[in-house]
Amino acid sequence: MLLVSSYPPRECGIATFSNDIVNAVKIVFGDTLPVEVCALQNSEQHFEYNNEVSFILPVDSLEHYRMVAEKINERNDIGLVCIQHEFGLFRGEYGDYILSFILALNKPIVTVFHTVLPNPDEKRKKIVHAIADLSDRIIVLTKNSQTILTTNYSVEKTKTIVIPHGNHNVLWEQKNILKNTYGFSDKIVMATFGLISQNKGIETVLQALPEIVKKNPEVVFLVIGKTHPEIIRQDGEMYRNSLINIVQELHLENNVIFINEYLQLSQLLEYLTLSDIYLFSSKDPNQAVSGTFAYAMSCGCTVVSTPIPHAVEELVNGNGILLNSFESSEEFKNAIVYLIENKEERIAMGKNAFSLSHATNWENIAIQYRLLFDQLTNREEDLRFNFPPIKLDHIKKLTTDFGILQFSKFSQPDPESGYTLDDNARALINMVLYNKAFPDKNTLKLANTYLNFIEGIQQNNGWFDNYKDFDHQLTKQNKEVNLEDANGRALWSLGTVISHRDTLPLEMICQAVKCWDKAIKRIDDIKSPRAIAYALKGLYLYHSIYKDEEIKTYIEKLADELLRHYNINSAENWCWYEDYMTYANNVLPEAMMYSYLVTKNPKYKKIAAITFDFLLSHYFMKGQLKVISNRGWFKKENERIFYGEQPIEVATTIIALDLFYEVTRNKKYKDQLKLAFIWFLGNNHLKQIMYNPENGASYDGLEDKHININQGAESTLCYFKARLIMEKYT
């Protein structure tokens, strides 16, 4: 794919936009979708580009448009050209030089319209219509732009697609941390950013500030960004100086800070993340979209905005304040005062904006671009995702000296959720396996923490409780909830430690064996199918080290119990152990296969294969994994409910597929395993990533129209285990 656009180091919003797309495509798809750039520049501009730039198009010369297009045509490996269109980027009347370029190209063309002006004169209308007519598809960034194209420019709606402006991932808990780092801990920070020009309307905000700071001297307004290069060329710093004069006249020197830099992305995101309120004061009613607006929302700012079309679409359902008019200092003053006086509502608005912005982070936008490009080039079957790096960041953050906490609010650990045996057992298994692949003393330290938790929650009689609060006290939930699953999972985790005696310290093995010897005495108290399955996995692992006949007898007894459940509940069209499917279904056939590996009893292997294939037949549909919903279990006699998918079910599918492929070497299991994992990477019904690239966490749930972006221990540990397994298949 070739991107035709202004490009860094040129300081321009479109350049930044294009660079973000290139980087996101690289992150999500790696080298399976190479992206090159044809950089637009004026005759007086000379930039040193990086190696992504393969062509340079001097926009002043009409002759060069055709010459560069012909060079592009000579490249058989360029399958599609994507043109970033903004009227000011191209020369000619309303930038009509671009038509020569498009006419000379013999590649599929996608044009992205960043600005779509309403009520065009005939000349502009003809040029836009011609660009649309010569393009295979038109991308717009808002629904409003799509409506204007179809009504004012007579472009067929079917030819257009809305792909929103992207934004960047940040971590919510960084807001207070960064405030302290930058020395704003006792301030209410407001901000605006972007290349400064008169259209920004910053003076409107400045005129609103005197009454505000009189009552609230802790208010600070950051004006972030250099003056636009074109404004510098024409008028110098006249506009910025006028703003400085206003600040001095209104005695706001202690409250307004000009950051006259074109900031690196990382520092820009830090400034936005620490800001409480973002002020968008554009005076242009026809500004279709704003990248600065999108970035501010994704950083959890509460946005106050003039009613540009982008803001009208986005500031809904309590995620900011939309003003009624442009250039009204009074409206800005009232909105700011309201947010200062209503802190809880201000924070809630920021959280809503932060949550909603997940759908349009750059990784998700990259997926939408890739899917469109593959459709136009008939390459949908070639879609390949890049595996993200394994990160322990969120697991470490969730872990205290006592154990791993259960839940998070966004990515912020929630101490009130307390601890569970379930999560600490999962975490122990993960760290043991991770240490085997990547030995590290810090990983062992984490594993020790989780093992200590398991030992500490075991009763003297060998049975385990499951729930402790943040003060390390057992909770009443232990009396109200069936704890068999947790006990089965504890055996699985202890068996994992014991089976890795070659890669773990001796004291850890001894500690695990001590807990095991107490717990195994309660094996007959485990009766529910899933608890049996977890226990069988632990027994298999223990038996892999100690060929104990008593353990083998336990395995046969428990496997026969699962077989009994199967014989009771299965029917001609229902090859399953229960008359419903709930969560972690894959562990049942997986346990049967482990039972076969120890006993060599062929009936266990046969039922394992029958039930697993039956389950998979309900999970893989039309090139995607669709697991059982947590909204309602899949019952034998009922229709299945879709959506409400959780990472635990995806991860247990991957874990079981890994085992079945190792045992049978049947390629279908390997193919399904890879297909299952890319559910996390965006191959799901929302076409959105289910992991957080910043911290290696997984989001908690895939709903029908949105993602639950809380990042609890269960979802994160399940994703981590799945990603670790995929190391074998890269």
Domain with CATH 3.40.50.2000 in the chain: 2-162, 174-360
Cα separation, 95 vs 128, in Å, equals 10
Give the sheet arrangement for strand 219-224, strand by strand: 256-259, 219-224, 188-193, 277-280, 302-305, 320-322
pLDDT at residue 167, as a whole number? 95
For 645, counting Cβ atoms within 10 Å of its Cβ (0-12 exposed, 13-18 middle, 19+ buried), the class is: buried
CB of 397 closer than 8 Å to CB of 692: no
304 vs 291: CA distance, rounded Å? 15
Per-residue pLDDT at 627 = 86
Which residues on adjacent β-strands are paired with residue 191? 222, 278
Contact 553, 496 (CB under 8 A): no
Residue carrying structure tokens 């390997």 = 670
Fold of 174-360: Rossmann fold (3.40.50)
* Residue 552 CB-density burial (10 A; 0-12 exposed, 13-18 middle, 19+ buried): middle
Residue 566 region, left (φ>0) first, then alpha (ψ -120 to 50), else beta?
alpha
246 sits in which H/E element: helix 238-249
* Cβ atoms 490, 454 nearer than 8 A: yes
Position 229 scores a pLDDT of: 84
Domain 2-162 class? alpha beta
Question: Using CA atoms, how far apart are residues 721 and 434, in angstroms rounded to an integer?
Answer: 9
Residue at 184: amino acid letter: F
The pLDDT assigned to 84 comes to 97
Residues 6+ apart with CB under 8 A from 394: 408, 411, 692, 695, 696, 697, 711, 716
CA gap 126, 129 in Å, rounded: 5
* Residue 548 vs residues 127, 556, 592: alpha-carbon distances, Å: 81, 13, 19
What is the rounded distance in angstroms from the CA atom of residue 187 to the CA atom of residue 183? Answer: 9
CA dihedral 212, 215, 220, 226 (to 10 degrees): 30
* Closest C-alpha among 81, 90, 86 to residue 42: 90
Q: How far apart are CA 489 and CA 421, in angstroms?
A: 8
Measure the CA angle with vertex 197, ends 192 and 199; round to 5°: 85
Mean pLDDT, the chain cut into blocks of 10 residues (730 residues total): 95 93 95 94 89 94 94 95 94 93 96 94 94 96 94 95 95 94 96 92 96 96 91 90 96 95 91 96 88 93 94 90 95 97 96 94 96 85 86 98 97 97 98 97 97 98 97 96 96 98 97 98 96 98 94 97 96 91 92 98 97 93 82 68 87 97 96 96 95 96 93 98 94
